[in-house]
Amino acid sequence: MKTQNLIVGCGISGAAMARLLAEKGEHVVIIDSKNHIAGNIYDYYQDGICVHKYGTHIFHTNNKDVWNFVSRFCQWYPYQHKVCGLIDGQIAPIPFNLNTLHTVFPESLANKIEQKLLDNYGLNVKIPILELHKQQDKDLQFLAKYIYEKIFLEYTLKQWGQTPDEIDPSVSGRVPVYISRDNRYFQDKYQGIPISGYTKMIEKMLDHPNIQIKLNTPFNANMEYERLWWTGSIDEFFEFQFGQLPYRSERFEFIKFPYKKFQETAVVNYPCNYEFTRIGEYKHFLNDQSDDTIVSYEYPEAFEEGKNDRYYPIANEQNAQLYRKYLSLAQTKKNIFFFGRLGDYKYYDMDKAVLRCLELFNSVK
């Protein structure tokens, strides 16, 4: 018997689409090769702390429709994300802002550069370091070079396994100086962490009589369906006909410490020190109370089939051309829809993944 809608992948993209279809009276079977729902936002409780299995996740958006949709399935803890980084031995806010300026530079130099930033750009604006490089002023050029070398360059080498010149120029071009005292990593209107965790949020999203969940179930070509919704890797669906799309992966080392707190913020980046890129401490997200704490060290690595998971599409023109070959092939398939980070070969924050589902659903119906 054919399944009316078969969804491959039980992360936030697949779960959101399943809910949209189910509420229109359609039957949905959603499968995942993992032994749990929620994909990379899966979390669990350990010693009273809500731990994110696949690294830190923060929901943020300016889109009211996206916020309202997701809010149907959870109550939010109004968490405002702040990230710090180890810069020249100092723990300072990231992105680089006026508070960072005064942390890493002598006061006289910091005051001089701050005034030049304010005179040239004003307050509460984000300026790409590429823009600072174009300035004739030597102090602003110095600042751009400092941020590039101390925050972006080494981090990029670790995160992507490539120099900034080897990845899409838009990536380095977006590295900002935030001329503000606002230490938040995001300035989105809506920000938060589900009070009961992301797994419970996805569980409620999938709690509908028209949705059937099958875990430990990889897709195979013998499955019958009227419509297929694919959130896996698009090249895998086509059996790597044109070659594999490159990805970066992550390895997480979880450590429990007998401390109330390990660090002052949920995430601290290490751009120029150590082989890991950052340390996440999970009790910050929901203000979990415990005598111990749990942190994760993140080690980026190359994706290898069968060894680790695909995390980040690698943005450059060569990979974009390869993806477009698969996209052209996908467009010839009737009633098969590709979406999500792997299906679209595009990095999505959670809100963008949900927005993509809403837009795709409306276009198909």
Residues 15-50 pLDDT 10s: 999 999 999 999 999 999 999 999 999 999 999 999
Residues 316-363 pLDDT 10s: 999 999 999 999 999 999 999 999 999 999 999 999 999 999 999 999
Residues 271-314 pLDDT 10s: 999 999 999 999 999 999 999 999 999 999 999 999 999 999 99
- From residue 266, give the alpha-carbon distance in Å to each of 184, 185, 279, 347, 356: 12, 11, 8, 22, 28
pLDDT of 86 > 90? The answer is yes
Q: Are residues 234 and 321 in the same domain?
A: yes
Least confident of 124-138, 197-211, 312-326: 124-138
Residue 307: inside a domain:
no
Residue 300: inside a domain:
no
Q: Are residues 31 and 174 in the same domain?
A: no
Residue 287: inside a domain:
no
Q: Are residues 125 and 217 in the same domain?
A: no
Residue 163: inside a domain:
yes
pLDDT of 229 > 90? The answer is yes
Q: How many domains does the chain have?
A: 2
Q: Are residues 117 and 211 in the same domain?
A: no
Residue 308: inside a domain:
no
Q: Are residues 127 and 168 in the same domain?
A: yes
- Ranges of beta strands (E only) in the chain are 3-8, 28-31, 43-46, 49-52, 59-61, 76-77, 83-87, 90-94, 96-97, 125-128, 176-179, 190-194, 211-214, 225-230, 247-257, 267-269, 278-281, 293-302, 312-313, 336-338
Residue 276: inside a domain:
no
**Final residue of a structural domain among 140, 155, 179:** 179
Q: Are residues 14 and 148 in the same domain?
A: no
Q: Are residues 54 and 9 in the same domain?
A: yes
Question: What phi and psi values does residue 140 have, to the nearest 5 degrees?
Answer: -75, -35
- The model's confidence at residue 130, banded by pLDDT at 50, 70 and 90, is confident
Q: Say which CATH number the domain at 345 has.
A: 3.40.50.720
Question: Global pTM?
Answer: 0.96
Q: Are residues 172 and 27 in the same domain?
A: no
Structural domain of residue 164, as residue ranges? 83-179
